[in-house]
Structure 1
Amino acid sequence: MTPFFYKRAASEIPCDEAEAAYYLGYKKINPPSDDVAGLIHKSCLKMQPVLVPQAVYAEYELSVSEDETISFADVSFRSKDLARNLRNCRKVVLFAATIGAQADMIIRRAQ
């Protein structure tokens, strides 16, 4: 299959500060303090202009043999656990996504 490429402009992806707080462990009944909410907001403002969201995926025919060999996209390998998980599947989708190198750099610096 021909890979499908996906790219969006950063301006199309709003920063959801409530969702960011949720993934930081805050709940509606226990919202972040004003200081933490300010950090979330500041982080959104810093990340938004550098986001370059992109993804690629492709679908391939899949075969899983009795000897636990998994084959797709001209690649074959053995894996007992993966063969068990994919036993009844006929296709596999490979997917990769990024928000961009500059965004990754900002995240690493902040860590």
Structure 2
Amino acid sequence: MNVKDIPQKEVFRYLGYHNTIPSETIQSVVIDCISELLNHCSMHHTYKIFDCTIQHTKIIIDNYVIIESKNLSKNLNECNQVILFAATLGVQADILLKKYSHIDMSKAVIMQAAAAAVIEEYCDQCQMEIEKTLAKQKLFLRPRFSPGYGDFDLIHQKDFIALLDCPRKIGLTLTNSFLLAPSKSVTAVMGISKTNKHCHIKGCEACTKTNCIFRRGDDVI
């Protein structure tokens, strides 16, 4: 990836700019932060396909993980397989965030937003590659859906970490409060379907938290 691949409007959204355009100074710092992240971070991802069964609002993955979620069951309707996915920017992103929190708090805030945009774009690109692979088998991918979206409990992060062997494969672990470490990381489930249903890649369109201050909308620049 390069700087042009990262939508600056996504960074602005994370910074709280919705109907206004940030100053040229802020825009310049955003570009600097994106560049620094891309130059220093070592991005990694992993994924695996599992069988799944949908029983009303209950999703059973690999006859092992049981998830109770109305939102996710709707997302996976008519799917009998899912992809569990994990990606991370690595510890370098956390090192940069810690560095600027000590020497330049304003830049640290922008770096946080830039890192969020970079990991999302990386996930999007990984997802598109997976879609290309599935297309050869005449299969289609459903939206990326992460623990914490809607009623999909964050506790299921532990299932993703275990089933994907994330600590060994990509250096991704979990805190006692089910937060990912390194912090700029993502886990998600994506349904595999034989029918091509309209699929938003981005997470906001799949999430029911309409009052989220970071939610994308038509008013976002």
For the criterion TM > 0.5, the same-fold answer is yes
Deviation of the 1:37 alpha carbon: 2.2
**Cα 1:39–1:75, aligned 2, differ >3 Å: closer, same or farther?**
same
Q: Percent identity?
A: 19
Structure 1 unaligned residues grouped into runs of 5+ = 1-12
**Cα 1:34–1:54, aligned 2, differ >3 Å: closer, same or farther?**
same
| TM-score, scaled relative to structure 1 | 0.63
Structure 2 unaligned residues grouped into runs of 5+ = 102-107, 110-221
2:36 and 2:72 map into 1 onto residues whose CA distance is 43
The 3-state SS of whatever aligns with 1:55 is: strand
* 2:52–2:59 Cα contact (<8 Å) kept: yes
In the TM superposition, what are the counterparts of 1:1-111 in structure 2 within 5 Å?
A: 13-16=1-4, 19-20=7-8, 22-23=9-10, 24-25=12-13, 31-65=21-55, 69-79=58-68, 81=70, 84-85=73-74, 86-107=76-97, 109=101, 110-111=108-109
Deviation of the 1:61 alpha carbon: 1.0
Deviation of the 1:32 alpha carbon: 3.7
Structure in which a larger fraction of residues adopt strand? 1
Which one has the largest radius of gyration? 1
* 1:57–1:95 Cα contact (<8 Å) kept: yes
1:56 and 1:44 map into 2 onto residues whose CA distance is 23
**Cα 1:47–1:90, aligned 2, differ >3 Å: closer, same or farther?**
same
Give the total of aligned pairs.
95
Aligned-residue Cα RMSD (Å) equals: 3.0
| TM-score, scaled relative to structure 2 | 0.36
Deviation of the 1:73 alpha carbon: 2.5
